[in-house]
Chain A
Amino acid sequence: MVTVKNSHTLVALVQDKPGVLNRISGMFRRRGFNISSLAVGRSELPDLSRMTFVVEGDDATVEQVTKQLYKLIDVVRVSDLSNEPIVAREMALIKVRATSQTRSEVMQIVDIFRANIIDVSPESLIIEVTGDEDKITSLNELLKSFGVQEVMRTGRVAMLRGAATQASPSNGTRRANTPQHYQDYEAIL
């Protein structure tokens, strides 16, 4: 059995009902699972939201997370995208100190990272940056010397590359890596 600790990207389609986030976060807490990020928003389907989790743990842990998610009545589908071709992005807002002396230097860094400045005041800037977690972390590191005042990160969102979708997988790959004993869940949508 593989017991390598890893971070896994899970995407869940959940019913848009009051309390659903609480059910999910409560389950993670009481079962002692570690999530390093969680992002949630409406999906393309009516009354369904999509959540992306980044879960820390070995394969057995992630299998348990998946099963425990399925056990919640409001969770319609869970996909482990860890071994799939995906695009994954995170967005962050970073408020950094920038005076007339340092502003241009900050702006250069922002350019290099293809980030945007979305608010300017005499003492500070707000920078919007999108990318993978490493990119955001590096930018944040670089900005530290100027004085980072506030950071807001959305957490990872992820999607399968190509035509395949979570609701209707067009290639067999994801089905194949779904543990056999709960493949039955796959025929839901």
Chain B
Amino acid sequence: MKLTGAQMVCECLIREGVDVVFGIPGGAILPLYQTMPEYPQIKHILVRHEQGAAMGADGYYRASGRVGVCMATSGPGATNLVTGLACAYMDSSALVAITGQVARGAIGKDAFQEVDTTGITLPVTKHNMLVMSASDVPRAIHEAFYIASTGRPGPVLVDIPKDVLNEVAEFVFPEGIDLPGYKPTMEGNPTQIKTAARLINDAKRPVVLAGHGVILSRAYDEMRDLVEKTHIPVITTLLGVSSFPETHPLSIGMPGMHGVAYASMAIDRADLVISLGARFDDRVTGRISAFAPKAKIIHIDIDPSVIGQNVRTHVPIVGDLKRVLRALNKEVKPNTHGEWLEEIEQLRQEHPSLRLGDKPKLTQQFIIKMLSDITQGKAIIVTGVGQHQMWAAQHYTFTEPNSLITSGGLGSMGFEVPAAMGAKVACPEKTVWSICGDGGFQMTMCDLATIVENKINVKFAIMNNHFLGMVRQWQHIFYKDTFYATQYTGNPDFVKLAEAFGLYALRVTDKSQVASAIQSAMAHDGPALIDFTVDPEENVYPMIPPGESIGEIMEEPASTEVKAWSR
């Protein structure tokens, strides 16, 4: 069958099971767009900024586990994707990005809208390729999906010159994959698994540190089997939140910079840390030399390079978590750790950490707790980056697997709008709440238009503190209240703004209105937005300053806290 490069792209997308792509057309990718009407099985969602295409695809992948696809034209289209790709790369999201490139003969000539897309995206993609002939298109797309979705997932970019999209060649979809340099290890080494089991059986004060890998590998049940059999408490990193039901008696919560004190303290006292798909990010460990000083470390991950990268490891195991845990569960002995759990419970009593505060003012903690209660911890929560993100992780009680979608590694503000859009597109039957910072929201709010246009029923809760709140908090704590360039004195009226986009919108300024506002937003059949005017001075605690250890934790605001808010 003779096809154009553009038709081949579409044929391949269909064979890879793609039903939706996020993108914006432009000159270099137009041949592909002009071909898309021949393939109505693929729905194209026209975003308002390419960052939204990448982050939309990211949200789509995270919510569903199906590879997210985004498209952009050459030059500015491709550069606009970069933040979204970097975010997906840091958080291991399987994405395929297809970009148009200037025609082959124009490459390297500084042609109109030419950038070195593969060069620019090299460090923020798992792999990328420039396809120089139409007959290479099927193999490139097939490899892109394979590489993106296997091993440690990640974004893969395929850059296709315009004349390659137009070129006609015989279409041959590759039978298999021929990548001699890419063979992810799936099964754990049996000897290592036995060693790990021995350490687990002998440990007196073990903890599981569950990371994103548990979710990516869909190993919830296997992890649960492990900890229920061995009676080991579960601590979840930010991206591990919702890998384990937070209502479970063995659930401890999040450690690290803004985690609960007792989780970090448990790690500090532990004699064994079993890391499942976590990578010991500095937000978790703080000062490495003081991290888990008494513990041996079992590190299970599909990516060998994260093992030994940040902490010393006693038992490294490379493999797919689900398979490794199945093997490990056969080796471990049933056990109980009553005293150890008792000790952690004691720590929880002494260091409650999660203060709702009984202030009369409207706080974000209060709103998130209310949202958690009303949705019974079953909504998909998408967040931006900053204070509201930390409070969402702290105060929403996640009971459903894979229900927190947040930019952890890159920490990219603006994630909250497009990722929520993508998540809802992937899971239309689920309730999706986007918890937004007023700062992050304004970075990507243009995609409210996309959301309305495509009838994507996302609910937005803007935590409007009129500040770049987390930065304001750092200025307060580390820079002697030098509040500079963090206050918004001219925020738009978000209710009017949302209405202008065509959303149902409400404003809430008082605690008493919170529940009914959430309920009416949920009752509305379509996207809705609540502008919560919240206490601008509230700070996130506990806090372990960067590069410090649990010994330096600040559990409560210092009594000297000064008023930052001046009108």
Contacts and interface: CB of A to CB of B under 8 A. Distances in A.
Q: Do these two chains really belong together in a complex? A: yes
A185 B304 CA distance: 11
Contacts of B182: 73
Interface in B172-186: 179-183, 185
Interface string A165-184: 00000000000000111111
Contacts of B147: 73
Contact of A63 (B130, B181, B189, B308): B308
Interface stretch (B58-66, B118-126, B202-210, B490-498): B118-126
B308 A182 contact: no
Interface residues of B, number: 27
B305 interface: yes
A182 B130 contact: no
B192 interface: yes
Contact of A67 (B127, B180, B192, B304): B304
A182 B306 CA distance: 12
A18 B130 contact: yes
Contacts of A183: 189
B307 interface: yes
A64 B318 CA distance: 14
Interface string A104-132: 00000000000000000000000000000
A14 B303 CA distance: 20
Contact of B318 (A30, A73, A77, A182): A182
Interface in A20-43: 22-23, 26-27, 30
A163 interface: no
Contacts of A146: none
Given A15-B181, A67-B304, A22 B119 contact: yes
Contacts of A182: 185, 304, 318
B180 A71 contact: no
Nearest to B300: A181
Contact of A26 (B123, B192, B308, B309): B123
A189 B180 contact: yes
Interface in A56-112: 60, 63-64, 67-68, 70-77
Contact of A180 (B123, B126, B192, B305): B192
A68 B306 CA distance: 9
Contacts of A76: 180-181
B318 A184 contact: yes
Given A23-B122, A180-B189, A184-B185, A70 B180 contact: no
B312 A1 contact: yes
A19 interface: yes
Contacts of A27: 123
B305 A68 contact: yes
A158 B488 CA distance: 61
Contacts of A19: 118, 130
Nearest to B312: A1
A76 B316 CA distance: 22
A182 B318 CA distance: 7
Contacts of B191: 180
Interface string B504-531: 0000000000000000000000000000
A64 B179 contact: no
Contact of B303 (A71, A185, A188): A71
A189 B316 CA distance: 24
Nearest to A182: B304
Given A23-B122, A73-B127, A185 B305 contact: no
B317 interface: yes
Nearest to B317: A181
Q: Is the interface of A mostly helix, strand, loop or mixed?
A: helix
A64 B309 CA distance: 7
Interface residues of A, number: 32
A96 B132 CA distance: 45
A181 B181 contact: no
Contacts of A14: 181
Contacts of A184: 183, 185, 189, 318
Given A63-B308, A67-B304, A181 B122 contact: no
A181 B118 CA distance: 31
Given A64-B305, A73-B147, A188 B318 contact: no
Which of A26, A30, A73 counts the most B-chain CB atoms under 10 A from its CB?
A: A73
A35 to B, nearest CB: 17
Contact of A73 (B179, B192, B316, B317): B179
Contacts of B126: 73
Given A26-B123, A30-B123, A184-B185, A15 B180 contact: yes
Interface string B286-328: 0000000000000000011101110010001110000000000
A51 to B, nearest CB: 13
Contacts of A75: 181
A181 B123 contact: no
B318 A26 contact: no
Contacts of B130: 18-19
Contact of A70 (B189, B305, B316): B305
Interface string B115-142: 0001100110011001000000000000
A182 B118 CA distance: 28
B277 to A, nearest CB: 15
A18 B305 CA distance: 25
Given A26-B123, A180-B189, A72 B305 contact: no
Contacts of A22: 119, 122
B180 A181 contact: no
Contacts of B309: 64
B219 to A, nearest CB: 18
B115 to A, nearest CB: 15
A188 B118 contact: no
A15 B178 CA distance: 12
A33 B307 CA distance: 17
Contacts of A70: 304-305
Interface string A131-167: 0000000000000000000000000000000000000
30 contacts: A1-B312, A18-B130, A19-B130, A23-B122, A27-B123, A30-B123, A63-B308, A64-B309, A67-B304, A67-B307, A68-B305, A70-B305, A71-B304, A71-B305, A72-B181, A73-B179, A75-B181, A77-B181, A179-B316, A180-B189, A180-B192, A181-B192, A181-B304, A181-B307, A181-B318, A182-B318, A184-B185, A184-B189, A184-B318, A188-B181
- Which 5 residue pairs are nearest across A and B when measured between Cβ atoms? A67-B305, A181-B316, A76-B181, A184-B185, A181-B318
Given A19-B118, A22-B119, A184-B318, 9 more contacts: A67-B304, A67-B307, A71-B304, A72-B181, A180-B189, A180-B316, A181-B192, A184-B183, A189-B180
Interface of B: 118-119, 122-123, 126-127, 130, 147, 179-183, 185, 189, 191-192, 303-305, 307-309, 312, 316-318
